[in-house]
Structure 1
Amino acid sequence: MTSDTSKRRGLLIILSSPSGAGKSTLAGRLRAWDADLAFSVSATTRNPRPGEVDGEHYHFMAEDDFKTQVADSEMLEHAHVFGNFYGSPKGPVQNAIEDGRDVLFDIDWQGAQQITNSALGQHTLSIFILPPSIPELRRRLETRAQDDAETIKGRMSKSWDEISHWGGYDYVLVNDDLDQTEARLKTIIQATRLRRLQQPHLTDHVRALQSQFEEAK
């Protein structure tokens, strides 16, 4: 009897980019493409803002509880930003990938590095999105009309620090055409889902083939 060839391990799909390169738009398109693709809900010690729902927008935690989870290695990655802690709880992610569901992370290079070096690092797929040019990056930030001039200036100043870490990712895509970049992302994900490590059933299948081979002698 052969093993179940439909069962696979899920992936931790990491998307990173400087602000304005199209990462959030691409993440939204990936989730529309695959309804089973889960989005990692971060934990934070900051207070909820109006309209935010615990467990949907963030997992809101007391600072002591957050620090305890970090000490117990229950956070895949974490950072201290503007006086609050943020992190990615390991439990829900581990449960998802064991169930064969992929989890999408929209994080910076520091978080990506922590996840890649974590206990689940062997199941990561990291992708960095580059803009076609710095002038185009600025144009996108200005035309989306979400930030004032001072905020855009700050995002542009931070952009090179983000871009300088492109070499630490499995794949790097230049987002000069959104549809083409989306198509390339899907191709990468579909191929990585077939990676030997993501198919634990293969060991049993090969053992079954070996038994059949011995019986046929």
Structure 2
Amino acid sequence: MSDWPTLPPSARFLVISGPSGAGKSTVIARACALEPSLVRCLSCTTRAPRGTERDGVDYLFLDQGEFDRRAAAGGFLEHAVVFGKASYGTPRAFIEEQLAAGRSVIKDVDVQGAAQIRVSFPQALQIFLIPPDPAEVERRLRGRGTDAPEVVARRLAEAAREVAHWRDYDHLIVNAEVERAAADLLAVLRASAL
């Protein structure tokens, strides 16, 4: 079918939010594996690397002075101090460079960061990722085995607050199964290019 229409790729910035235990990192990794033109944006942070984390692979680690300079210069689409400890931000230049090169960018941010991005980058496509039910959130958080019970309790309370914001997003994806959620995410991306 030589006359079948081909649509030019349209680079988009996808913002993914959801509660702890929603599977954001897993779904993003799978979507990027399925769609090579989709690029994951790393967060800048002032916290120290944990375990095997590496600069430029897991996060972009900055000292507080450099972070503050970038923030003052408008270098972040959103930024915040998390838990009163470390600063985190979404680097503006990386996203703009990737989009200019025709590559779509995906970034997970919390609901507060997504609200900032609605102002700083209103053309972003915002997707809320949620597990099928609250019991699944708790099962996933406890199943990680990395957090103390009080941390899990705090994350569950925060999850309930975050889920209340799902209507602020362009799309809702239920992550009952990673392959399906990644396929749904890519379907939203492709449909947005039409």
| TM-score scaled by length of structure 1 | 0.78
Give the corresponding residue for 1:68. 69
Tell me the amino acid that sits aligned with residue 102 of structure 1: S
- Coordinate RMSD, CA, aligned: 2.0
Runs of 5+ unmatched residues, structure 2: 1-5
Which of structures 1 and 2 has the bigger CA Rg? 1
Give the corresponding residue for 1:151. 151
- Written as runs of structure 1 = structure 2, the 5 A alignment for 1:161-200 is 161-194=161-194
Measured at CA, do residues 9 and 68 of structure 1 come closer, stay the same or move farther in structure 2, by a change above 3 Å?
farther
Q: Distance in 1 between matches of 2:58 and 2:179?
A: 27
Q: Distance in 2 between matches of 1:132 and 1:51?
A: 31
8 A contact 1:129–1:173 mirrored in 2:
yes
SS in 1 for 2:25: helix
8 A contact 2:30–2:179 mirrored in 1:
no
- Written as runs of structure 1 = structure 2, the 5 A alignment for 1:70-109 is 70-81=71-82, 82-109=84-111
Point out the structure with the larger helix share: 1
Deviations 1:52-76 (A, max 9, x none): 3322222222322222221221111
Measured at CA, do residues 144 and 45 of structure 1 come closer, stay the same or move farther in structure 2, by a change above 3 Å?
closer
Give the corresponding residue for 2:21. 20
Q: Distance in 1 between matches of 2:31 and 2:67?
A: 30
Runs of 5+ unmatched residues, structure 1: 195-217
Tell me the amino acid that sits aligned with residue 109 of structure 1: V
Q: Distance in 1 between matches of 2:193 and 2:60?
A: 28
Give the corresponding residue for 2:3. none
Aligned residues: 188
8 A contact 2:44–2:59 mirrored in 1:
yes
Measured at CA, do residues 174 and 6 of structure 1 come closer, stay the same or move farther in structure 2, by a change above 3 Å?
closer
Q: Distance in 2 between matches of 1:111 and 1:171?
A: 17
Percent of paired sites with the same residue: 37
Give the corresponding residue for 1:202. none
Shift of 1:8: 4.5
User: Quick check: 1:140 aligned with 2:140?
Assistant: yes
8 A contact 2:28–2:182 mirrored in 1:
no
